[in-house]
Amino acid sequence: DECYICYGGGELVLCDHCPKAFHTICHIPQLLEIPQGEWRCCECSALLYKKKQRCGKCIECTQVDCGECTPCLSMKKFEGNGKYGKPCIFKRCKYMRYAAPEHMPQVAKKRKSRNEEGRAVAGSKKQQL
């Protein structure tokens, strides 16, 4: 057998629902230990998802909410009613997938605001989510 991700051999975890095998560090999300009992790999688990998930790694996923677009203004954290239900227009992931993201980012860059002439103001600052 060889790893489905890196094609290497060695100690592999075998999926109980398909012929794929993975190293614990190659599987997405990474496996911290060998799973016990019946186990589904990331590929087989993706078939169970009804909605696509954000990738969690692209620029759009790591942005903070702008606080100015219609979706943001409807969010409760921006004193909206929370009924719009869409993400910030700057957070729309281009790489949506049925598999869950490995992890969602903990740190995001703040969007630059624009002054009246359309020039960027303020540098990119890191902000804890």
pTM flag (> 0.95) = no
pLDDT digits (tens, 9 = 90+) for 28-53: 888 888 888 999 998 888 777 777 77
End-to-end, the C-alpha distance of the chain in Å comes to 41
pLDDT digits (tens, 9 = 90+) for 102-127: 544 443 344 444 455 555 444 433 33
Cα(87)–Cα(104) distance, integer angstroms: 15
Asked if 72 and 92 touch (Cβ cutoff 8 Å), the reply is no
Map the chain to HEC letters. CCCCCCCCCCCCEECCCCCCEECCCCCCCCCCCCCCCCCCCHHHHHCCCCCCECCCCCHHHHCCCCCCCHHHHCCHHHCCCCCCCCCCCCCCCCCCECCCCCCCCCEEECCCEECCCCCEECCCCEEEC
Task: Please give the residue that has the higher pLDDT: either 46 or 10.
Answer: 10
Residue given tokens 């103001």 in the structure block: 121
Cα(70)–Cα(84) distance, integer angstroms: 8
Residue given tokens 């993201």 in the structure block: 101
